[in-house]
Structure 1
Amino acid sequence: MPASAAVASPGLLKEVHAATARFHSTTQATKGGYVLSSPCIAHPTLGGMGFHWVDNNKVDPVFDPLEPEALVYAPDASGAPKLAAVEYIVINVGQPAPTFDGQPFDVGGTPVPVPHWSLHVWVHRDNPAGTFTPFNPDVSCQ
């Protein structure tokens, strides 16, 4: 099933939203161990992702939906970064590929230099392209 067509259970999405709401600002992300790891990422036709803040201590072979490896902040109307999505980065050491409530992860997709899976989940901002689609047509880095 394409990422844009997948639908996760509202229960797990609400749990992830609640578990990560404390990171409403990049100041809170920094206090939580996350560091800015990318400029604002955008695609000319697909839209944007935003700025990725990663907790490198969480980038490992373990998938915990309530402890995402990355937080994604998209610019709001004033240009200020606002929490929009989470991203999971799971190192592949031969274990079965992870899924988020049945949604398979993408192979690779981040600049992590080892085999891994990743998945964006838009739990703090609507993504008209789909909850699990990396780019959001409503996000701009301009």
Structure 2
Amino acid sequence: MAISIALLKTVVALAMVDPGAGEPTLDQVRAATERFRDVNVALAEGYMRDPLNLCDTAEMMGRPAELGAMGIHFARPDLLGISGPPNPRVSGSGTHTDFLKPAILIYEPQADGSLELVAVENLVFADSWRAAGHDAPPMFHGVAYDTMADDPSTPVDEAHLFEPHHDRHVWIYRENPNGVFAPFNPAVTCEHHRNGGAHAGHASVPAHAP
């Protein structure tokens, strides 16, 4: 397993290239999203906290624990094309991939109960992306989005209640030893997550006193 993790880090590092035509630099993405360090600004602009209040980790999705965590997701349903509750999984019709206006913000819970912005993310559902005429996942800076889909033969939910989708994390607010475009970050922790929820296939996150 250590070999596969090392290989993953190498592939991510080698894949990083300069922005393609029309793509923003990472500095431009940071400048466009800096205001969301204040989670209240994000809420005021339509980002909604994961209703299950999950702090996602690699282990929860059947991956090696040493890969780290993602954190708590705050999403813009309109940019994802989500128009209703999970039925039975979250699905949407959006094909939004503009990182100057990311569909998802990711926060790490802090010991004092606050939230620290660690990454931004875009996500498109595989069926909607294919229906829009695309044969391959989206790309950013020459790196194809990761593809996540649940494997019904395993006890965990690899797609964390979402229909199959393509997503790209960009770790511009927390250095990631796995690479700036890796899905998980070992420098992020859910240790201080409070009143965490759980769903089928996810281990319950221990609740902490407020």
Amino acid corresponding to residue 97 of structure 1 in structure 2: P
Partner of 2:156: none
Q: Which runs of 5+ in 1 are unaligned?
A: none
SS at match of 1:45: helix
Q: Structure 2: how far apart are the matches of 1:77 and 1:64?
A: 32
Match of 1:104 in 2: 144
Say if 1:111 and 1:121 are closer, same or farther in 2 by CA, change over 3 A. farther
- Deviation at 1:9? 3.3
2: CA distance, partners of 1:4 / 1:75: 27
For the 8 Å contact 2:18–2:142, the answer to whether it is kept is no
Q: Please say if residues 110 and 118 of structure 1, whose CA atoms lie closer than 8 Å, have aligned partners that are also in contact.
A: no
| SS of alignment partner, residue 51 of structure 1 | strand
Structure 2 equivalent of residue 130 of structure 1: 179
Partner of 1:9: 18
1:68 & 1:110 partners in 2: Cα distance? 19
Equivalent in the alignment of 1:39: 54
Could you list the runs of 5+ residues in structure 2 that have no partner in the other structure?
1-9, 60-64, 81-93, 149-158, 192-210
- When residues 8 and 110 of structure 1 are mapped into structure 2, their CA distance, relative to the original with a 3 A threshold, is farther
Structure ranking higher in helix proportion: 2
Inter-CA distance 81–27: structure 2 relative to 1 (3 Å threshold): same
Shift of 1:76: 4.2
Residues 83 and 8 from structure 1, CA distance in 2 versus in 1: closer, same or farther, beyond 3 angstroms?
farther
Alignment of 1:46-85 (within 5 A): 46-59=67-80, 60-76=94-110, 78=112, 80-85=114-119
Residue 114 of structure 2 aligns to which amino acid in structure 1? A
Which stretch of the first structure deviates more once superposed, 74-83 or 91-100?
Answer: 74-83
Q: Distance in 2 between matches of 1:78 and 1:4?
A: 34
Name the larger-Rg structure: 2
Stretches of 4+ aligned residues off by more than 4 angstroms: 76-79
Shift of 1:141: 0.8
In the superposition, the TM-score normalised over structure 1's length comes to 0.86
The match for 2:153 is none
- Equivalent pairs, count: 141
Work out which of the residue numbers 33, 38, 41 in structure 2 matches 1:25: 38
Identity among equivalent pairs (%): 37
Q: CA RMSD in A?
A: 2.2
Q: Which has the higher strand share?
A: 1
